Amino acid sequence: MTRWLAALRGAADASDHTLSAYQRDLSGFLGFLTSHWGEPLGAAHLGDATVRDVRSWMARLNANGLSPRSAARSLSAVKSFYRWLAEVEGIECPAILAARAPKAAPRLPRPVEAKAAAAMVDFATSDHSETWIAARDAAILTLLWGSGMRISEALGLNRRDAPLPESLRITGKGGKQRIAPVLPAARDAVDEYLALCPYKGGPDTPLFLGARGKRLNPRMAQKTMERARLALGLPATATPHALRHSFATHLLEAGGDLRAIQELLGHASLSTTQVYTGVDQARLMEVYDKAQRRR
């Protein structure tokens, strides 16, 4: 398992979070086989798993309350391990690779409405007694909403990136690069924050700093969103990542091209971006239902 995880880190550039999830999923499967077969599991037996074994494991996951989507992710991790096992160790198990994941209903993104997003930015401007920290938090939220960046991507920016241009080259998941637009409001908000920030540094200094002058932890941005949604009565889905969803859905509502939005978000597959059309359709149906009730 250790060598497989190391191979994933090297070849696929998987994140620590992904590797931890894969390790938990595979450990759960191997632990299940040990108890299911009633004997210690050795490397020689790894290829003996049958379709029935996999189905029993999936049934156990379901009985434990795991969602179909999470169960499918677990199976994906196990398949990844077995593909590596066949290639490196010569231990093959067709039953594992042929196993089908449970079907999961498509999960629609939950963006923050435009008015709510603007209200959250306004809240951040006065949320902290330190003026520069309030300006920093407002700049981060504005940047997420106005560029479609992930929180890790925004907080990974350095001083050399400022003043922010009209577009930035961003390195996202898996080391893939894309061009992210930066709206004027986001550029202005970052400029205001930098003008107030008491810490100065060179080009390699983090752009967004914490109170002690170190690179800002994503948890601090999440806490700002938590306070904002509590104060504004917004749902728990109003997270920093929801602002990325807002960027995409608001572009789509304004007539943006789906392929262009895919490139701006850095999605590998257009099918990933197509989920936003479901959000748009859901809103149309909501407006239609309200109109019908008024009639």
> For residue 84, what pLDDT is reported?
92
Confidence of residue 284 (pLDDT cuts 50, 70, 90): very low
Between 208 and 42, the more confident residue is 208
Which one is predicted more confidently, 249 or 263?
249
Q: CA 84 → CA 89, 169, 255, distances in Å?
A: 8, 33, 44
The per-residue pLDDT for 67 is 84
Contact between 108 and 95 under an 8 Å Cβ cutoff? The reply is no
Give the mean model confidence (pLDDT) for residues 278-288: 48
Quick one: tokens of 236? 């728990």
Ranges of CATH 1.10.443.10 domains, the chain: 114-290
Structure tokens at 15: 């994140």
Instruction: List, by residue number, the catalytic residues.
Output: 150, 173, 241, 244, 267, 276
Confidence of residue 292 (pLDDT cuts 50, 70, 90): low
How are beta strands 177-181 and 167-171 bridged, if at all? antiparallel
* Confidence band for 136, pLDDT divided at 50, 70 and 90: very high
Could you read off the pLDDT of 221-242 as tens digits, one per residue? 899 999 999 999 988 888 888 8
Confidence of residue 109 (pLDDT cuts 50, 70, 90): low
* CATH class held by domain 114-290: mainly alpha
- pLDDT tens column, 184-208: 999 999 999 999 999 988 899 999 9
Residue whose C-alpha is closest to residue 119's, from 230, 256, 216, 196: 230
Rounded to whole angstroms, the Cα distance separating 28 from 34 reads 10
The percent of residues above 90 in pLDDT, for the chain, comes to 34
Average pLDDT over residues 73-78: 90
Quote the CA–CA distance of 72 and 55 in Å, as a whole number: 12
**189, 143 Cβ separation under 8 angstroms:** yes
Percent of the chain with pLDDT over 70: 82
pTM of this structure? 0.61
CATH topology assigned to domain 2-98: DNA polymerase; domain 1 (1.10.150)
Which residue blocks in the chain are alpha helix, DSSP H? Answer: 2-11, 16-37, 51-63, 68-88, 94-98, 114-124, 131-147, 151-155, 184-196, 218-232, 240-253, 258-265, 270-273, 275-294
Give the integer Cα–Cα distance in Å for 96 and 75.
Answer: 9
pLDDT at 271 over 60: no
Exposed / middle / buried, residue 286 (Cβ in 10 Å: 0-12, 13-18, 19+): exposed
Strands (E), 148-190: 167-171, 177-181
pLDDT at residue 16, as a whole number: 81
**CATH 1.10.150.130 location in the chain:** 2-98
What does the pLDDT read at residue 161? 93
- The CA-atom distances, in angstroms, between 186 and each of 37, 79, 182 are 58, 42, 6
